Amino acid sequence: MDTIWFYEDLALPPDSLEDFTRMARSLPADEMSELAGLLELHPAELSRGHTQAIDQALRQRLKGTIVVHVPHHRPLTPEEAAAQMLAHGYMVKFGLEFNLKDLHACGWRFTDAWFRTNFTGGPQEQFRVVAVLPERLYEGEPRKVSFKLSPSIGLGEANAELGEAGVEMTGQVAPVMLGFLGEEQRSPYWELRTGPKPIEGIYNFCALVEAPAGSRLSVEVLAEADVQVKKWGFPVGPQERAWGRRIEPYQIS
């Protein structure tokens, strides 16, 4: 069972907040009134460009809407490592939940999202991410999947035969999901794009890390998204983005 690690503190970046405030001030009176209602603000706060009030309103509306689960990891079995031509490694599974709650009924939705990770180790640690799942998925309905390592890395329908090597990903995949190994193959990330179905619910991601036995690694994560409210869209993300200055990293050993 997945455990909540933290709730991402979402807010508009300063430059985007200023742009959003200018846009709101320029709206016709009827549209300004509609947007104010969606943000639970008085129209005068938009017309006067009260940036602080707009920032607080957006923070409050989006509070708790992106939930990050505690990662899970395990060493690869000798058979799994051999199948990938690795001496040793780890499978690390991440979970992310998008939950706009009752905001969907008011016209709120996530249109794009990004889940970023950053693996670190000691000065002498030699490691790299050799595969990410999902890596490239362009079509299909949201569905549960399994992550299979043997004989080759791949996605399959949940409840399919996993054999000796594999793990079921208990969430779903979106119509469009792209995975990247990231800088120096140590900062994998995933991009989610909306389709006929909105971005909502639990999504799982896996990284396959090559590392010597006894390695002590850690990983940090970050989630951000684009939000659309009726016909108005804007990016939101955490206030603190610098690795090493966010939450305590998850330990892998």
The tens digit of pLDDT for each residue in 158-211 reads: 333 323 344 444 445 555 889 999 999 999 999 998 877 788 888 899 999 999
If pLDDT is split at 50, 70 and 90, which confidence band does 62 have? very high
Q: Is residue 185 part of a domain?
A: yes
pLDDT computed for residue 149 by the predictor: 55
> Whole-prediction pTM value?
0.85
Contacts of 139 (CB under 8 A, 6+ apart): 175, 176
Q: Taking the chain, what is the end-to-end CA distance rounded to the nearest angstrom?
A: 21
Q: Is residue 59 part of a domain?
A: yes
Q: Is residue 248 part of a domain?
A: no
CB 209 within 8 A of CB 89: yes
CA angle 186, 191, 197 (to 5 degrees): 155
132: domain range? 4-240
Distance CA 98, CA 226 (A): 12
DSSP 8-state assignment for residue 3: -
Residue 32, pLDDT > 50, answer: yes
Q: Is residue 204 part of a domain?
A: yes
CB 211 within 8 A of CB 126: yes
Q: Is residue 104 part of a domain?
A: yes
pLDDT computed for residue 167 by the predictor: 46
Q: Is residue 246 part of a domain?
A: no
Count of structural domains, the chain: 1
Provide the 3-class DSSP secondary structure of residue 232. strand
What is the percent of the chain where pLDDT is above 70? Answer: 84
Any idea which residue has 């909502």 for tokens?
Answer: 200
The tens digit of pLDDT for each residue in 93-147 reads: 999 999 988 898 888 999 999 999 999 998 888 999 999 988 776 655 545 555 5
